[in-house]
Amino acid sequence: MTRALLIVDVQNDFTEGGALGVIGGDAVAAGITRHLRAHAEEYAVIVASRDWHDADSDNGGHIVPDGSEPAPDYVATWPPHCIAGTEGAEYDPGLDTTAVTHHVKKGQGKPAYSMFEGVTDDGSTVAAVLAEQGIETVDVVGIATDHCVRASALDAIEHGQHVRVLIDLIAGVAQEPSDAALAELAHAGAELGRSEPA
């Protein structure tokens, strides 16, 4: 097998009720779990990433503390979210991570959108994991379409992977930038597919 599944940031702070929750986040978690139960054996590698921001810093200007001025712009600066060790940083409970082979943490003290900017607990990068396993094709799922899914999929393409974004297993912050992100990914060579027929 030369296929991997990349699960981007399906965390409590990015699903309903979280600090930066997106509509449809819980459904994405449940959908990925169904997909894994049906198809996990088709992947040589299953990588799941999490934002994992330091509690005692602004993480390179990425996080604006509550009550600060200027307020977060929701483009380059954000309210506190996915702080290491908090419930918000944990995987959404609807996501069954039993089949995950590699857990990646990103944004430790700095901004990071792509899972390729993170590392596993033993310090390996996603690019190194994929290369070591001879991966040539990746399916990308997760949150959020217009931010970390976009960045992770673009980086996968840059690292020579054939990328398929499973559009029924993603959720974005807003419709217009999410549509733009998918158009950008398609233009860059990604396939836009589905985990199962519509």
In degrees and rounded to multiples of 5, residue 178 shows phi and psi of: -70, -45
- Catalytic residue check, 9: yes
Contacts of 94 (CB under 8 A, 6+ apart): 15, 26, 29, 30, 33
Judge if the upstream peptide bond of residue 84 is cis by omega within 30 degrees of 0.
no
Catalytic residue among 92, 105, 106, 146: 106
Strand order in the sheet with 119-120: 119-120, 102-106, 45-51, 3-8, 137-143, 162-171, 191-193
Catalytic residue among 82, 105, 139, 148: 148
- Catalytic residue check, 110: no
Catalytic residue among 9, 51, 92, 146: 9
What residues pair up with 163 in beta bridges, in sequence order? 138
- Catalytic residue check, 148: yes
Beta-strand pair 162-171/191-193: parallel
Contacts of 109 (CB under 8 A, 6+ apart): 53, 54, 57, 59, 60
Active site residues: 9, 106, 148
